A and B are shown apart, each in its own frame.
Chain A
Amino acid sequence: MRYVRRRLIFYLIAFWTSITLNFLIPRLMPGNPAENLMMRMHGKISPYALKALEAEFGVFQHANLAVQYWRYLIALAHGNLGVSITYFPIRVSTVIGQSLIWTLGLIGTATIISFVLGTWLGIWVAWHRHTAWDRLTVPVAMFTSAFPYFWLALIVLYVLGFVLGWFPLSGAYSNTLPPALTLPSIADLLYHAALPALTIVVVSLGGWILSMRNNMIPSLNEDYIQLARAAGLKERTIMYQYAARNALLPNLTGFAMALGFIVAGGILTEIVFSYPGLGFLLYQASSNQDYPLLQGLLLMISFAVLLANFAVDLLYGRLDPRAARSEV
């Protein structure tokens, strides 16, 4: 399929760009951060590991940039992201691998909940546009989506966790109950994920509501909606199958932009809740100036976001016959 192929090529280029960016950043930064890092680590880690770090950042190497770039790509192709300094001598890929699942679980689920719920609410308020619900929803949605994620996280943590004591204050599971596929353990996981997920959903929800509403309202004015009414279709059919299905398409196109912001917000939320995902790891790597880990995380997060976008594009292709069948 032409559409799928084109999107795939686009995301491959985007991924390649982020890989290259990842390669260039440490080499372009002022004050040669990598060399400083080497100095700091000298004597603390084995000469062998030091060599590995050198290779990774191209410090003290006299190979030109092109050769370094090639080596970097080769290493990457082998899944070699270097060695973490914070968790020395564990490999960056291993460290990331342990956190990835938490982020996917938390931010992924929260994003889907928020998208589905927000889209549905957007449809609903657009349909009931002349009611007080609509007049109430719009400003509230605008206000809540202006909250900084981490701030709302702090408030939620304080009120629901600290003052009321209804939820745990940090982490992803109880120390006494290591994650497993048992009912009590799953309940415990959900219990820990509730507050961070709530934060992400509350802040990101408003955006979905507003954008769906804004797409839905012009769509209600379309000739085919008027015809569907004249034809005596049931209101629910008109609302969902005619108006919303059409209005959803531009909303999916906006997904790419929104996702970046939600992931960013999720990262900050994880930090506040010490939730052991990529965001919290990124924070640790940043505080410890663990450059290899930092870079690996940036690459991983970019990759995950690109993959999610690609999935959404595929969905779009399925929902819009014009994308799938025409040359667009």
Chain B
Amino acid sequence: MSEILSVRHLSVTYTDSTPTIPAVNNVSLSIHDREIVGIAGESGCGKSTLINAILQLLPDSIVDMEGDVLLNGQNLRTLDRESMRRLRWMKISLVPQSAMNALNPIMTIEEQMRRIMEAHWEAARPGEIVARIDETLEMVNIQRQYKKLYPFELSGGMRQRVAIALALALRPDVVVMDEPTTGLDVIVQRGILMEIKRLQKQLGFAVCLVSHDMSLLIELAQTVYVMYAGRIIESGPSRDIYRQGRHPYTRGLIACFPPLQGSQRTVEGIPGSPPDLGQLPPGCAFHPRCPQAIPRCTDQSPSLVNVRPQHAVACHLHTPDIPSDLVEASHDRA
């Protein structure tokens, strides 16, 4: 498996508000060929910011950014505008959060797909584009004749499928999905996620799937990253995370959502609410809510360290007692 997308020490700070908001803090992650990677975390922990930063959608006027984003070895941060524009959707595409509202209300489905394709397939004949539109819509189980409709004429679930079809239209290497099923009822959600899995197998793209639903990620993804207050606090193969999640927050998240299949467990929420990113508590940002906090947690910020070859945790309970600034997280996998 080769690495397609690699995010290295990415930090994003919103500078358009006072105080400035460090929404993503030193995040590293990587996505391999044909892999589904999950990013979990509560609302407001910076998931969408991370996604938008990866896709270079945050303008300089509102954020300060550090770190690198490599797509097939090419650094997106140093790419000029036009090259970046050409690369979008061909290599990496997005199913946005609230995909239901992400369609232009006054254009037919067909026109929206066509415009995107024309922006990249400059030499394509109209016939090719139409054929691709039909093919892609059929892949997400939308009948061909619906392409003449406007978004307001479709149900929520169908709009969701259209958003996925849009993302797949140019057969990109990586599809980033930011909570692709929020706002849909559970049954429809499930159907769509299964379909994503099927399409992923069929077309062979890699997926970066963002969700606050831990059990869902564990079921779909091979690798899971858990985010809290802008940092990755645990990462590893989903099986390990599920069975041997170390961080109290991870375990809380798993407990929050009973798995879709298997034994029902009681839902025990995490007490308290996520911190205000503008005013993070000192030390480990999770300590005010942590049932197992120890004195060190209140003043030292834990670093991400490997507890097993591919499993890293940022928690004082699981790190050897050495000054944290000497520990360099190394979860670059082979």
Contact = CB atoms under 8 A, between A and B. Distances in A.
Q: Do chains A and B touch in the complex (CB under 8 A)?
A: yes
Interface of A: 130, 222-224, 226-234, 237, 241-242, 245-246, 249, 319-322, 325-326
Given A237-B115, A237-B119, A227 B102 contact: yes
Contacts of B88: 230-232
Nearest to B103: A224
B57 interface: yes
Nearest to B51: A230
A228 B102 CA distance: 9
B262 to A, nearest CB: 35
Given A130-B61, A224-B105, A245-B106, A232 B86 contact: yes
Contacts of B108: 321
A320 B104 CA distance: 12
Interface string B63-106: 00000000000000000000011111110011011100111111
B182 to A, nearest CB: 12
A9 to B, nearest CB: 24
Interface of B: 55, 57, 61, 84-90, 93-94, 96-98, 101-108, 115-116, 119-120, 150, 152-153, 163, 166
Contacts of A320: 106
B165 to A, nearest CB: 12
Contacts of B153: 325
B130 to A, nearest CB: 18
Contacts of A227: 94, 96, 102-103, 163, 166
6 contacts: A227-B103, A229-B57, A230-B57, A245-B106, A322-B150, A322-B152
Nearest to A223: B102
B104 A242 contact: yes
Contacts of A232: 84-90, 116, 119-120
Given A230-B94, A232-B87, 12 more contacts: A227-B163, A230-B88, A230-B96, A231-B89, A231-B119, A232-B85, A232-B86, A232-B90, A232-B119, A246-B105, A322-B106, A325-B153
Given A234-B119, A237-B119, A322-B150, A228 B104 contact: yes
Question: B103, B104, B105 — which one has the most chain A CB atoms within 10 A of its CB?
Answer: B104
Contacts of B96: 223, 226-227, 230
B102 A226 contact: yes
B115 A233 contact: yes
Contacts of B115: 233, 237, 241
Nearest to A248: B106
Contacts of A319: 106
A322 B105 CA distance: 8
A326 B152 CA distance: 9
A224 B163 CA distance: 10
Contact of B116 (A222, A233, A249, A321): A233
A246 B93 contact: no
Nearest to B100: A223
Question: B85, B90, B97, B120 — which one has the most chain A CB atoms within 10 A of its CB?
Answer: B85
A130 B15 CA distance: 14
Closest CB pairs A-B (n = 8): A232-B88, A223-B102, A230-B94, A224-B104, A232-B85, A227-B102, A321-B150, A231-B116
B106 A231 contact: no
Contacts of A231: 88-89, 93-94, 116, 119, 166
A225 B302 CA distance: 39
Contacts of B57: 226, 229-230
Question: B90, B115, B153, B166 — which one has the most chain A CB atoms within 10 A of its CB?
Answer: B115
A223 B106 contact: no
Contact of B106 (A226, A230, A321): A321
A90 B98 CA distance: 67
Contacts of B106: 245-246, 249, 319-322
A223 B101 contact: yes
B150 A224 contact: no
B179 to A, nearest CB: 12
